[in-house]
Amino acid sequence: MDKKLLETFLLSSRTKTYAAANGKTRALLPESVQYEFSDGDFSCRDVYYIGNGIFPGLETIFYKNKPVWSMSYFGNFSKMTEEQADGMLRKALIDLWETARIYKRVEKDYGDFTYVCEGSGSIDELQGTEEIYAGKEKVYYLYYAGGFIG
């Protein structure tokens, strides 16, 4: 498995699903939200639940229909509206697609908000936090962890 190709697919697939408001499919699990995208032998599935300003989920990358990489996440946007959180996250995941929610650090200002993502590790095993600040107040956070499984 070429892990550089895997990483490139992972990062670019995010710009073609949730971040771009594309790829939403009929969810396999009741009450969940599901996005899918495929390109050649690679495909991805992102499934999450949302309620009360909280959303847990699982992102999985498949190669030739076999799961090869997966990441779980848990986010909380209860100090901002869902529309604010969605708007900020979609912008950040598009603008910072090569570095966000991976093992790198990134920070970008968006008007009254600041997006910060602090990760560590490698495509083999990574973890991190994603945060949005309104001034000095943290109004959103997400924890993520995942790695190569195949």
pLDDT tens across the length of the chain (150 residues): 899 999 999 999 988 888 777 889 999 999 999 999 999 999 999 999 999 999 999 999 999 999 999 999 999 999 999 999 999 999 998 999 888 888 989 999 999 999 999 999 999 999 999 999 999 999 999 999 999 999
Instruction: Map residue 23 onto helix, strand or coil.
Output: coil
CA-CA distance, 58 to 147, in Å (whole number)? Answer: 12
pLDDT value of position 127: 97
The reported pTM is 0.92
Domain residue ranges in the chain = 3-148
Please write down the long-range contacts of 121-125, taking CB distance under 8 Å and 24 or more positions apart: 121/147, 123/3, 123/6, 123/7, 123/10, 123/69, 123/147, 123/148, 124/3, 124/148
pLDDT value of position 22: 80
> Which runs of E-coded beta strand occur in the chain?
24-25, 33-39, 42-48, 54-63, 66-76, 105-110, 113-122, 125-134, 137-148
CA-CA distance, 33 to 35, in Å (whole number)? Answer: 7
CA-CA distance, 133 to 94, in Å (whole number)? Answer: 18
CA-CA distance, 62 to 97, in Å (whole number)? Answer: 19
pLDDT value of position 19: 74
pLDDT value of position 16: 87
| CB contact at 8 A, 84 and 106 | no
In the beta sheet, which residues pair with residue 57?
48, 73
pLDDT value of position 72: 99
Structure tokens at 120: 């560590």
